[in-house]
């Protein structure tokens, strides 16, 4: 669990972030927020607004790093759906498109999500900050049923 206060967040494993052109502006706002909270992150791109990019590229870049490093990531596209679909193709990734704080929290407690997907055209930067804070602060549940269900997902992945 990561504890947030008004000024800083403790050091954690690297948070990987990325976006396509439609999520670029929100990703840049997220970076400013993470800087203020002193959250270590690596921006995997895009590093400038490039309209000819494709969301699967940024989603895969983040998801692959998350899976390899056992870390967490945030990806942003137009509505959060495309990056979520693409990220979930990577074994070890449990991505969620979370348009609300409640969904972000529940995705952590119940599903141990490790990639947060956001819609740059649908979520304001102030809402994104609240969603991110909730998602980073919320630990995975200790309830046996949630562990059992996540383990079933891992078993499905092992068959691919």
Q: Give the closest residue to 123 by CA, choosing from 91, 81, 94, 92.
A: 81
Kindly give the interhelix angle for 24-36 and 125-137, rounded to the nearest 10 degrees. Answer: 50
DSSP for 11-78 reads --SPEEEEE-GGGHHHHHHHHHHHHHTT--EEE-S-SS--TT--HHHHHHHHHHHHHHHT-EEEEEES
What distances in angstroms separate CA 55 from CA 22, 26, 117, 121, 134, one per listed residue? 9, 14, 11, 14, 25
The residue annotated as part of the active site, out of 26, 76, 77, 123, is 77
84 catalytic per annotation? no
Tell me how far apart the alpha carbons of residues 63 and 101 are, in angstroms, rounded to a whole number. Answer: 22
* 52, 20 Cβ separation under 8 angstroms: no
Residues noted as catalytic: 77
């Amino acid at each position: 669990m990561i504890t947030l206060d008004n000024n800083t967040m403790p050091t954690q494993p690297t948070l990987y972030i990325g976006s396509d052109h439609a999520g670029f502006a929100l990703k840049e706002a997220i970076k400013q927020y993470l800087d203020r909270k002193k959250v270590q992150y690596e921006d995997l791109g895009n590093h400038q607004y490039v309209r000819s990019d494709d969301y699967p590229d940024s989603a895969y870049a983040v998801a692959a790093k998350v899976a390899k490093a056992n870390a967490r990531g945030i990806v942003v596209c137009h509505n959060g759906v495309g990056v979520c679909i693409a990220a979930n193709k990577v074994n070890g990734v449990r991505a969620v498109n979370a348009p609300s704080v409640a969904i972000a929290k529940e995705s952590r407690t119940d599903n141990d999500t490790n990639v947060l997907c956001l819609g740059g055209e649908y979520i304001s930067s102030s809402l994104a900050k609240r969603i991110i804070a909730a998602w980073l602060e919320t630990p995975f549940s200790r309830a046996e049923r949630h562990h059992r269900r996540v383990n079933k997902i891992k078993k499905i992945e092992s068959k691919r």
